[in-house]
Amino acid sequence: MPLRLERASSYYLPQVGLIASWLVHSREHTNFTYNLTETNLRYLAHTVSVVTHSDVAQIESYFREPLQDQALQDLVRRAARQRDAQTTDADCRFGRRLAWYGIVRQCRPKLVVETGVDKGLDSLLLCSALKRNSEEGYPGEYVGTDINPRAGALFQPPYTQFGRIAYGDSIESLKKLNMPIDVLVNDSDHSSDYEYREYQAIADKISPHCIIIGDNCLVTDKLMQFARETGRDFLYFKDEPDHHWFPGTGVGFFFRKSGPSHQDGGL
């Protein structure tokens, strides 16, 4: 019994020290941000390369862009000091969100939609990718949805010129979209029923090679179900935080196995 207890505890006791450090140094209490382990980040790049039908080295180069973007990181530090962002850490820890960025850079979508904006870190990152795409001749638009009228504290100029936030019920906001959706990030109400209703709301609005990123797939299988119902493919990725007590979450990818890595001017 003592030996078995020692073996089991060895998997969890290290997290106690990480929790203590987090309590002192972090202000976050939801939507935790963290870096990924080096190996896990490579796994993520390979996953995105499969989803986008592209070379993994290209995806890895896209992952490096926001990590080396000093202007982007400075904006997050400034915005984190504002009243509406008091639960935001100043450090840019994009973690699995680098997949969002890599997909937008590789696929050059005309319309990117995100349900659930919260602090606006995803909004900022997605519009950073759209900004670079536009500079290369491939313009696109971001639309975020959130029921909280104060959501999106980090989403600030110059990135706001590439998108907007629609406040209110996300399903109603999705129904009002009148362009094909090329990339969708689902991260709003985490109940399985609401998530599935969002997918139903956009079923007739997705482009032929639409990619859906489900940030709730550790909890529900609704994105996998939606992929089966629409004849699409599905992959699941489990992220591994680096030096953070949070055990990580699961990301699902809805996509088509066959198709171009990108289109000129959108998917």
pTM for this predicted structure: 0.93
d(C-alpha 49, C-alpha 42), whole Å? 11
Rounded mean pLDDT of the chain? Answer: 92
3-state secondary structure of 173: helix
pLDDT band at 266 (very low <50, low <70, confident <90, very high): low
CA-wise closest residue to 196 among 254, 112, 111, 258: 254
Q: What is the pLDDT of residues 200-234, one digit of tens each?
A: 999 999 999 999 999 999 999 999 999 999 999 99
**Domain 2-255 superfamily per CATH:** Vaccinia Virus protein VP39 (3.40.50.150)
Statement: residue 83 has pLDDT above 70: no
**Which whole number is the average pLDDT over 5-29?**
85
Q: What is the pLDDT of residues 21-75, one digit of tens each?
A: 888 888 888 888 999 999 999 999 999 999 999 999 999 999 999 999 999 999 9
Fill in the amino acid letter for 126.
L
Handedness of CA 66, 69, 71, 74 (dihedral sign): positive
- Whether omega before 180 lies within 30 degrees of 0, making that bond cis, reads no
The residue length of the chain stands at 267
Write down the pLDDT at residue 6: 80
In sequence order, the 6+-apart residues with CB closer than 8 A to the CB of 194 are 171, 188
Write down the pLDDT at residue 84: 58
Write down the pLDDT at residue 223: 97
- Choice between 195 and 262, residue whose per-residue pLDDT is larger: 195
Percent of all residues in the chain with a pLDDT value above 70, rounded to a whole number: 95
Q: Residue 7: CA atoms inside 13 Å, Cβ hemisphere, count?
A: 4
CA-wise closest residue to 185 among 153, 159, 212, 217: 212
**Which whole number is the average pLDDT over 248-256?**
96
d(C-alpha 241, C-alpha 81), whole Å? 25
